[in-house]
Amino acid sequence: MRAICLPEKEKLGVITLEVEPNRELHMHLQYDYEPEMVAYLRSLLHPNIIVSVGNDIGQTTNYHILVAGRPERHHIESSPLLHTLVVPWVGIPLETRELLSEYPAISVHNLHHNAAPTAELAIALLFAAAKLIIPYDQSLRQHDWNMRYLRPGPSRLLSGQTALILGYGTIGRRVARACFALDMIVLATKRRPLQSSDEYTMEIHPPQNLVQLLPRTNVLIICLPLTSQTENLIGEKELALLPADSVLVNVGRGPIVNEAALYEALQNGSLSAAGLDVWYNYPPDKASRANTPASSFPFHELNNVVMSPHRGGDTSETERLRMIHLAELVNAVFQTKPVPNKVDLVSGY
C-alpha cells in the first residue's frame, strides 16, 4: 500500500494514549471494510478498544459504538450498551436522522476525512468549468483548433472575481483557502458565524443574507448538506440574481439547486457554466450503474457543464484517511474527551 504524508498529529495514533487495563470499549463496524484497513484502524486505537466487523451482527450485541451510515432499527436495539453512532462520512441520511431521533440518548457523529479531496475536486470542477477544459479538449481531439482563435476568448478569468461559498465548514474552509490563493474575493455563509471574516474569507454571513450576496457573486460554490432548509435553496429566482457569466460548482447535494431551474439557466446561457459532482438520480442497484441518467434533464447535451459522478471524497488515500479520523473520534470517546463532529439531528448537520 502506498504511503501518504499526513500531519504530525495524524501520525501519532495510539502512541500518546495511556493504557487503562481494566476498561474496555467495543466498536462495531457495520461495513465489511478491507482487512488491511481494519488492521490499520486497530493499530491507531487504544489497545482496550475492541473492534468487530460485519453487516450481520449475529452474536455481536455488546458494542458501545456503532459505525454505520444507514443503520436499521435492529442495529440500534441489538446492543443495550450502545451510546454513540458514527456515520462514516460527512452529512447524515434523512432516514438515519429520523430513526435516531427516537433514541435521544445516543450521540450521533460523522467523519470529515473527505474534506481535502472534496475541496480539491471543487476547485478542479471550478477550473474545468471556468476554463472550458472539456470543450477545448474535445475539439483538439478532432484536430480542430478553431476555439483557440475565438475572440473574445470564452475562458473566464478567476483572479479578482468574487467567490461565494455556501457552507463554511471543513470543506468550505479548504475551498476558501484555494480561492484566496487565486486572488479571488471570498465570501461565505455559515449557519452560526462566530466572526464576520477570517484569514481567507473577507465576509462570513448567516444564510439569511443569501439574496443580498448573490448579485455580488461571480462563482457560487455549494458545500452544504441536504436538509429541509437547504433543499431547493437555489432556484430560478436565486440564479437570476447572479451576474452574467457566473459559474456554479456543486459538491454538496444535487437537490440544493432546483433541477429544472439549473438546466434552464445553463441551456439559455444566463449561467455561464457549472461543475457538478452531485445529482438528482442515482443507480438503485449494481445492475443499473452502467445505464442510469443523472437527471431527468439532458445535462449531458450541454457543453458548458462538467459532469462528475459524486466522487468528491474518493481518492486512493480515502479509506486510510477515514480510519485515521475514525480512530481519533473513538479514542476521544474512550478517553472521555470532547468528541468531534457531533450532529444536530434537528438541523441535519
Q: What is the CATH number for 285? A: 3.40.50.720
Question: Residue with C-alpha cell 499526513?
Answer: 6
Q: Are residues 80 and 136 in the same domain?
A: no
Nearest CA-CA partner of 40 in 67, 20, 13: 13
Q: Give yes or no: residues 59 and 132 share one domain.
A: no
Instruction: Please say whether the beta carbons of 67 and 27 come within 8 A.
Output: yes
Q: 239 and 324: one domain?
A: no
Same-domain status, 245 and 326: no
Residues 103 and 138 in one domain: no
349 located within any domain: no
Q: Residues 173-218: pLDDT tens digits?
A: 999 999 999 999 999 999 989 999 999 999 999 999 999 999 999 9
Clarify whether residues 275 and 222 are in a common domain.
yes
Residue 41 and residue 189 in one domain: no
Examine residue 348 and state whether it is found in any structural domain, yes or no.
no
Q: Is residue 342 part of a domain?
A: no
C-alpha distances (whole Å) from 326 to each of 115, 157, 314 are 14, 40, 17
**Cβ within 8 Å of residue 112, ≥6 positions away:** 90, 169, 170, 171, 325, 340, 341
Domain count, the chain: 2
288: pLDDT strictly greater than 90? yes
Residue 73 pLDDT? 94
- Both 146 and 84 in one domain: the answer is no
Q: Is 198 found in the same domain as 215?
A: yes
Q: b or e along 146-180 (b: 16 or more beta carbons within 10 Å of the residue's beta carbon)? A: ebeeeeeebebebeebbbbbbbbbbbbbbbbebbb
Distance CA 287, CA 301 (A): 24
Phi, psi of 235 (to 5 degrees): -125, -160
Report whether pLDDT(55) > 80: no
**pLDDT for 5 beyond 60:** no
pLDDT in the model for residue 17:
44
Q: Is residue 347 part of a domain?
A: no
- For the ranges 7-11, 32-36, 263-267, 308-312, the lowest mean pLDDT is seen at 7-11
Task: Express each pLDDT in 121-173 by its tens digit.
Answer: 999 999 999 999 999 999 999 999 999 999 998 999 999 999 999 999 999 99
Give yes or no: residues 273 and 299 share one domain: yes
> 47 and 14 in one domain?
yes
**For 60-64, 182-186, 328-332, which range has the lowest pLDDT when averaged over its residues?**
60-64
Asked whether residue 169 falls in the same domain as residue 222, the answer is yes
For residue 329, is it within any domain?
A: yes
Is residue 65 included in any domain, yes or no?
A: yes
Q: Is residue 343 part of a domain?
A: no
CB distance 263 to 295 below 8 Å: yes
Identify the domain containing residue 99 by its residue range. Answer: 8-114+316-334
Residue 188 in any domain: the answer is: yes
| Confidence band, pLDDT 50/70/90 cuts, at residue 14 | very low
